[in-house]
Amino acid sequence: FDFSPFYETCKEKGIKPTKLTKEGVIDKTTLSKLRHGKNVELMTIAKICKYLEVPIEKVVRIKYE
């Protein structure tokens, strides 16, 4: 998984990713998983999308190798 769209979207919206932890949208462990491209539950991605008010493709991209 590629979560670079999440970071690009945050930058576009002027939101630091850590703000999502402070707001209780995600926890620090999830933020770490996003940074390292680890598995994140779909419901968590949905929460991020709702908070940022964006479609899923603005948060995650699936990379086929």
- Total-model pTM: 0.92
Read off the pLDDT of residues 16-50 as tens digits, 9 standing for 90 and up: 999 999 999 999 999 999 999 999 999 999 999 99
Q: How far apart are CA 21 and CA 50, in angstroms?
A: 14
pLDDT at 24: 95
**Nearest-5° Cα angle at 21, 16 to 23:** 90
